[in-house]
Amino acid sequence: MDKYISLFLFRLNINKVFLNNFYCIYMYLYKMKKIIFIALLFCSCTSTKILLNASSQNWTGGLKGSGSGTNFKFILIAPESEKGFSIEDICIDGKLYKGAIYQKTFSKGDTILVSSRKTTESCQQENVISYLLNNEKHQIEIDTIEQLPKLFYP
């Protein structure tokens, strides 16, 4: 009988230790919740990636003298609506392009398509999109440009 009582008390003691440790961890996390909340808040405020995809596609006209060129297209996440966001310039391999957003109206967070028109000017930067966000100039570095198959127009 004493054997069972001592075994019961031993198990009770283990349960007390476990519950005491669990309670200590719970209180530690309870006290730390403000710090954890602030840390998560700061993590969520970091800058998000705006550029989703960049592609280029060479093209050639089918008639003699119709020309050739390269189309650049960029898929972005709009950091602001059309009232506060616009594309300025696009520099690729030392050549300056003018960017145009296909959508006339969009909201913050929308996916937008930007195309480019080549100009006769050159630029000093390599693979950069310049844009205005609430009248402040910003830049996005283009890491990689996906090369699409060549287009042959009739």
Q: What is the pLDDT of residues 49-63, one digit of tens each?
A: 788 999 999 999 888
Q: What is the DSSP letter of 83?
A: T
Residues 63 and 131 reside in one and the same domain: yes
Three-state secondary structure along 98-133? EEEECCCCCCCCCEEEEEEEEEEEECCCCCEEEEEE
Judge if 66 and 16 occupy the same domain. no
The DSSP output letter for 144 is -
pLDDT at 126 over 90: no
Average pLDDT, integer, range 119-141: 89
| Closest C-alpha among 72, 75, 71, 51 to residue 61 | 71
Domain that holds residue 34: 1-46
88 and 62 in a common domain: yes
Rounded CA-CA distance 62/76 in Å is 32
The model's confidence at residue 33, banded by pLDDT at 50, 70 and 90, is low
55/42 same-domain check: no
Domain count, the chain: 2
**What does pTM read for this prediction?**
0.64
* Helix, strand, coil percent content, the chain, rounded in steps of 5: 30, 40, 30
Residue 64 binned pLDDT confidence (cut-offs 50, 70, 90):
confident
Instruction: Give all strands (DSSP E) within 50-110, no chain letters.
Output: 51-60, 68-77, 85-92, 95-101
